[in-house]
Structure 1
């Protein structure tokens, strides 16, 4: 007579699950300690491999099913594309920040008594200076000193921040080599890694596939729809500065790319003041050009190019991007510019996906109860 399967007592199941949970926590902590020294290169390798995966699939098929050769070619291509432009851009940016800082100091220091009197003759400026002197005991000389010091500190902070984004993207030269080494394996074996992860998720195949497709769409929408759009807008602003002969076009192009992520103002915070400076200098043709370039061409990228890049993918809210960029940069460094918004977007996507699944289950239950 066949004996029924023995059911473990509830007490034994509790200890087994507790042991498994503690073991997973200990191993997870140990794994984090192991990868922490090169967490930056690891995250960059995973991120780039994810973006290159569709290209890897097509290239491997063209190479008659040789994924190893495809991964090697894409790894070399990544090295050529990243190291050259970043090195040139970093050097040009550092040089232009220094030139801009010197220009600001010379401009402020060049304000003679005659300049000050001419400025004070402007009615609204004179009234503002008088109110400050009367209310806060702040005169023009103090404002001049504060402006000089503030400009210097702001530019130095900007140079340090952007230097980390450019040169500190993966930490050091060793970090870059590690990133390239790991990138090859993530490109070659990334598909198998994702499939293994999918098998570990306790969910039916249909909703599991839908979940992974949704998360991939959110990630690519973040990168292409927001990151690439900001890069294009920053490039256009830098070109406009170059055309009208304003100083440091690369510096202000980088600033424009960063402020393009803001939920308000955007690149207008850069080309707007530039147009004002041109107007003060009496360069009315350049002023009109800057206004038209910014209001039409740069804004066109946000209103037309972004929807084209996001088309067919899940959209990512601007506020999510803004908070993710600031928090991610503080938490993870340069990779946080992309990782922060992606993590927030994925969390929101998971919550929405779970809610949709619950609603679908409730609707199915209600329909089953109907006669």
Structure 2
């Protein structure tokens, strides 16, 4: 009787068929929801990061959740849909010019830089040095550099070809964000309940830690990047730099990757001096100094709110997310790595650090001598 009971408990075919059925159901569910995964993940990150703002808006709107959800959805449209639509229209209008320049059909020729002669003391010397460089093969340097710049511009344009899919994910993000704002407490309770069932108290702590990491990336990385890129884009537009919208998007990518906006602003300043517009070049130079150092003011304030993340982690998340998921990966990549990093760090901290082990190799004085 006891042997039959054990055989019923450890019925291997039943266990295998159960696992196979569960696996098939998981794969089928993943297959069905696959088109919505990225949009839902993006919406979850946005809602988690902006949930305190939604609660404040709800208090201001007489405690009406519907009004708060409507206001937050309109705010998301203002932050995401309008800039993307402006970017798409700008790309469509200037695609032919950018492609012709990137392919090398329009040669990049250095200017004469005659305005250098107006500089006191060193102007004439700089002017003669510049023309000596051109006469000794400086034009060839420009000709060699342009193909690499052209390859980069062509790759960026090829990424813009996926703008339709990005717009679809953006629309899904708005829809899912509205639903999550409206039922946020119930969804959070369901996720925490599932985590408790899966890993008990440790699972619940992991969910809370993941939410803090998502908010940390949103505050410490995305907000800083948006502020710097918008201010830098305003400076580019006012100073008369061509394609300011495209350059603002590129500046936003550099800020997300923790490289800063100066990689775009410094070439723009050089171009203005190059073309002889020294007044606007000087103004943009001063403005760039302000924008370039703004993160030193914003980021310490956000670090106190839990945004202290390694720079290399964010850089890998931005680049890897862009290559893996396209433009939407700019937001998903850093969050995935940040959550994984925080969970791994918390798991490792559950065990104390190992003691420093001294070198057990014997010293020359401790070696045994051969008996005489």
Bin of the TM-score, shorter chain as denominator length: 0.7 to 0.9
| Residue number in structure 1 paired with 2:211 | 216
Tell me whether 233-242 or 75-84 shows the greater mean CA deviation: 75-84
How far did residue 332 of structure 1 move? Answer: 2.0
How far did residue 181 of structure 1 move? Answer: 3.9
Q: How does 1:308-319 map to 2 (within 5 A)?
A: 308-319=301-312
| Residue number in structure 1 paired with 2:249 | 254
Q: 1:251 to 1:77 in 2, by over 3 A?
A: closer
Partner deviation per Cα, 1:5-33 (whole Å, 9 max, x = no partner): x9967961877765554444322211111
If the length of structure 2 is used for normalisation, what is the TM-score?
Answer: 0.72
1:272 pairs with 2:281? no
Which whole-Å CA distance do the structure 2 matches of 1:285 and 1:341 have between them? 39
Q: 1:25 to 1:226 in 2, by over 3 A?
A: same
How far did residue 204 of structure 1 move? Answer: 5.1
How far did residue 162 of structure 1 move? Answer: 4.5
If the length of structure 1 is used for normalisation, what is the TM-score?
Answer: 0.72
1:188 pairs with 2:182? yes
Q: 1:18 to 1:159 in 2, by over 3 A?
A: same
Partner deviation per Cα, 1:198-230 (whole Å, 9 max, x = no partner): 22334454x555443332221112122111211
| Contact 1:97–1:251 under 8 Å retained in 2 | no
1:169 pairs with 2:163? no
Q: May I ask how many residue pairs the two structures share in their alignment? A: 336
Partner deviation per Cα, 1:281-311 (whole Å, 9 max, x = no partner): 44444443333322x3112221111222342
| Contact 2:45–2:214 under 8 Å retained in 1 | no
| Residue number in structure 1 paired with 2:346 | 353
1:304 pairs with 2:300? no
Q: 1:126 to 1:85 in 2, by over 3 A?
A: closer
Q: How does 1:212-251 map to 2 (within 5 A)?
A: 212-251=207-246
| Contact 1:218–1:315 under 8 Å retained in 2 | no
Root-mean-square deviation (CA, aligned residues, Å) is 4.1
Q: 1:226 to 1:13 in 2, by over 3 A?
A: farther
Which whole-Å CA distance do the structure 2 matches of 1:188 and 1:278 have between them? 49
| Residue number in structure 1 paired with 2:41 | 43
* Structure 1 residues without counterparts, runs of 5 or longer: 1-5, 130-138, 363-371
How far did residue 341 of structure 1 move? Answer: 0.8
| Residue number in structure 2 paired with 1:198 | 192
1:91 pairs with 2:86? no
Partner deviation per Cα, 1:173-203 (whole Å, 9 max, x = no partner): xx65554443333222333223222223344
